[in-house]
Amino acid sequence: MKRLLLCATLLCTSACAQTTQTVPASGSATPPPVIPPPSIAWVYHNGAMRWGGDWSFAATPNYRDTTGMPLVGAFDIQIKSTQWGGWLPFFNANCRGTNSLCFNTKAYTYIFFSAKATVANQAFSVGFMSSGDTPDGLILGGNGDTQLAQYCSGGNNPAVGTWESCKIPLSAFKLTETSILKFWISDQTGLPSNTWYLDEVGFQ
């Protein structure tokens, strides 16, 4: 009998310890926990588009391509473009009317992506559109500009058929607004038509 009482006491003590809660003082509220942003905000990752969609110009993206030999996952993005065409992903189409629905770059330091060229001297440009759907900051790359190349592993002349990685400080764009609707990565070879590939795109 003594053993049973001892066990019951121990069980009660354990259960009570597990259910003990701190009750805030009358009239006060416990503040919600501060949830930090993820270390990486993916745009395209592991073969899947993570943003709202794209408004690509003079280009047709294929999000389920395998011919580019994806870096991660089953697919990459194959982009078939005409002259100066580009991939233009948008975060939320309603961002234009509601700023809180835009992507806030404030928590991030870089935009990064992997690209695969299919022609020699492949060149790209990257730029941003603000929440007002207007260009903001500098455009890097294109028209003989070498600013983008310094942030890419392939430099000014990425090897054909090889993935190169680009990691660009957001500060290099000198954005005047941290909230963005969309950005673009465009072909700057000037060719009438071109096929190229993107994979693992995001902010860090």
Q: Is the pLDDT of residue 105 over 60?
A: yes
Residue 10: predicted pLDDT: 37
- Within 13 Å and on the Cβ side, how many CA atoms surround 94? 3
Q: Considering the chain, what is the average pLDDT of its residues? A: 86
Written as six digits, the tokens of 40 are 């990486």
**Which listed CATH number (3.40.50.970, 2.60.120.430, 3.10.105.10, 1.10.3080.10) goes with 38-203?**
2.60.120.430
Q: What is the pLDDT of residues 161-203, one digit of tens each?
A: 999 999 999 999 999 999 999 999 999 999 999 999 999 999 9
Q: Is the pLDDT of residue 65 over 50?
A: yes
pTM for the model: 0.81
CA-to-CA dists, residue 91 to 100, 106, 123, 164, angstroms: 11, 15, 25, 25
Domain borders along the chain are 38-203
Q: How far is the C-alpha of 108 from the C-alpha of 203, rounded, in Å?
A: 6
The rounded radius of gyration (Å) of the Cα atoms in the chain is: 25
Q: Are 186 and 115 in contact (CB under 8 A)?
A: no
